Amino acid sequence: MTSRKNRDTSSAIVRAVCARVCAGRRYGLLLRKKHYWMGSQFFIRRSRRTVEHIYRCLGSRYFWRAYRLSYESFQFLHEKLSAGIAEAIDNLRPCEQRGGRGGNYKPPPVRNGLVSTSVRLACALRYFAGGSPYDIMAKYGLSHASLYESIWAVVEAVNTFDEFDIEYPSSEMAQLKIVEEFEKVSEVKFNNCAGAIDGILIWI
């Protein structure tokens, strides 16, 4: 009687292990597919790309034309705004911190991997430069929602960054100082520009 009970227990364990292995293999196969259903939800597997990868593909010249600044300037800007972008993302989609002993909490996993603050900044700059949101999504491996989330996070980071709190000076001396600094960075040596929102130079 005891041996039969042991056999039944062993069989149940074997069946449970086989079921777990089969389920794990099925889940692994699903993760390797580009599109799959998980219950009632439809997911798309996306490959994240870094800004460095895009820079290597474009090169210095075309990176500047695509993002309206050099790669070095992009890195400098990202250093300024990275903390603000991360904070803005947390404020846009706050997660209720539950679970974890002793106050330990880990944010929920992201199915396709976290989107870095540098990628969010690059997406926003390319969008502001006239890039198609669908092309940007495909380039960086983002969803439509993540793309616009990134754009608004960058806007919020810029608006709350003290160094970017720009106020046009009222004194003539301060305006002449702007003219002098603008002339230094101007390739064609403009010497009468004290401010510009946007513009384009067309040679005639």
- In sequence order, the 6+-apart residues with CB closer than 8 A to the CB of 117 are 78, 81, 82, 85, 86
CA distance 178 to 16: 74
Is pLDDT at 103 greater than 60 in this prediction?
Answer: no
pTM of the predicted protein model: 0.66
Q: Scanning the structure block, which residue is given the tokens 């046009």?
A: 168
If we measure between CA atoms, which residue out of 49, 114, 117 comes closest to residue 78? 117
The stretch 16-32 carries a mean pLDDT of: 51
What pLDDT, in 10s, does the model give residues 118-173? 999 999 999 999 999 999 999 999 999 999 999 999 999 999 999 888 788 889 99
pLDDT band, very low/low/confident/very high, at 69 (cuts 50, 70, 90): very high
pLDDT value, residue 99: 55
Q: What is the percent of the chain where pLDDT is above 70? A: 67
The stretch 86-109 carries a mean pLDDT of: 69
Domains of the chain (ranges; CATH) run 51-93+113-164 (1.10.472), 167-196 (no CATH)
Q: What separation in angstroms does the CA of 8 have from each of 12, 15, 18? A: 6, 11, 15
- In sequence order, the 6+-apart residues with CB closer than 8 A to the CB of 192 are 179
Pairing mode of beta strands 41-44, 35-38 = antiparallel
The stretch 5-24 carries a mean pLDDT of: 56
